[in-house]
Amino acid sequence: MIRYYPGFRILSNLNTQGKEYTLDGKPYSGKYYKTYDGRFFTGPDPQTGPSEELMPAKRLDAAPNLSTIVLPDNVKDTLTRNSRLETARIPGRPNTYYPQPTDEDYRKGYVIRYFTKKENERGFITEISEEEYNNIVNGLTDYDISLYQTTKILWKLTGPLKSTRTSQYNVIPGIIDTNERLTTSANKTFLGIVDFIDGDYAKYARPTGTTVENTENTLSRQNTSSTLSTRSASSVPRPQNPSY
């Protein structure tokens, strides 16, 4: 059963000529609608249906197998980005973009995610590419940029999932805590982004480094060692008071 979407969180009654989306692997043409979280369904709206989910069409039939080619990392990442599945651009409005972090992004530990929505609207947000973000900011689009507001969020990819205290004075920021904090901060001026992320603060995460479990084990071993040392010290016989 399809998830319920309130009317203000969908773009309804859209049309495609068969180049942008596929249904069961075949090109789809006709009416469709788009939800605020970047999904596409058949029919003019959820009430009319039939609400079968559409998939973005491929620009390329097959991406090259880059894993067998010896290339510098930066060149390989660029080729990988360009050969990924992308949605064919629809003119006249911002287009949804699906980030696909590369090995270089994971080495850095973060990516930048870009978003846009119509001014003073809470519900319908579109995640866009860096290129489209820059085009909006610089007024280089084929739609009225005065209607749109943009924001970008640094999105943490690596580290422990949750913030981890390794000592009294050192805390390793967690993926979930960091992304939630930065998203909540962005929501102050870009209303609705918290709803758009919908609690998925571990999206694209590749947890690394110290984990809470490892830290707890380390602290447990330290406490055990300290207890044993205390017991050892207390077990040393004290000299008896001499008898006079």
Residue 9 has pLDDT above 80, yes or no: no
pLDDT band at 74 (very low <50, low <70, confident <90, very high): low
Q: What is the pLDDT of residue 76?
A: 53
More confident call, 17 vs 68: 17
Across the range 56-71, mean pLDDT stands at 52
**pLDDT, tens digit, 9 for 90 and up, residues 146-160:** 889 999 999 999 999
Side-chain-side CA neighbours of residue 241 (13 Å) = 1
More confident residue, 79 or 169: 169
Q: CA Rg, the chain, in Å? A: 26
Looking at residue 35, what is its pLDDT? 85
CB 115 within 8 A of CB 153: yes
- Supply 217's token pair: 């084990």
Look at residue 17 and tell me if it is in a domain.
no
3-state helix, strand, coil in the chain (%, to 5): 30, 25, 45
Total number of domains in the chain: 1
Residue predicted with more confidence, 169 or 84? 169
Q: State the pLDDT at residue 62.
A: 40
**Residue 82 in domain:** no
Q: Reply yes or no on whether the pLDDT at 109 is more than 80.
A: yes
pLDDT tens column, 204-243: 999 986 544 443 443 344 444 444 443 444 444 444 544 4
Name the residue range of residue 147's domain. 91-225
What pLDDT does residue 3 have?
A: 66
Evaluate whether residue 118 is within a structural domain: yes
CA distance 101 to 112: 10
Amino acid 226: pLDDT: 41
- Cβ-contact 138, 189 below 8 angstroms: no
Q: How confident is the model at residue 10 (pLDDT cuts 50, 70, 90)?
A: confident
Kindly report, residue by residue over 14-59, the tens digit of the pLDDT: 888 888 889 988 899 899 988 877 788 999 888 888 889 998 886 4
Cis, peptide link before residue 44, omega less than 30° from 0: no
In a domain, 161, yes or no: yes
Residue 236 lies in a domain: no
Q: Which residue type, as a one-letter code, is found at position 91?
A: P
Sign of CA pseudo-dihedral 123, 127, 130, 132: negative
**What is the pTM for the complete model shown?**
0.56
CB proximity list for 169: less than 8 A, separation 6 or greater: none
Separation between Cα atoms, residue 32 and residue 12, nearest integer Å = 7
Report which of residues 23 and 122 the model is more confident about.
Answer: 23
Q: Which residue has the higher pLDDT, 91 or 60?
A: 91
Q: What angle do CA 190, 120, 139 make, to 5 degrees?
A: 80
Residue 99 CA to residue 113 CA, distance in Å, equals 8
Q: Is residue 12 part of a domain?
A: no
Supply the pLDDT for residue 77: 57
Q: What is the DSSP string of 135-196?
A: HHHTT-SSS-GGGEEEEEEEEE-EE-SS-EE-SSS-EEPPHHHHHHHHHHHHTTTSTTHHHH
Alpha-helical runs (H) found in the chain:
73-83, 103-108, 130-137, 175-186, 193-197, 212-235
Tell me whether residue 204 is in a domain: yes
- Eight-state DSSP code of residue 10: E
Q: Which of 154, 156, 160 is nearest to 207 (CA)?
A: 160
| Mean pLDDT, all residues of the chain | 77
User: Is 8 within the bounds of a domain?
Assistant: no
Residue 198 predicted with pLDDT over 70: yes
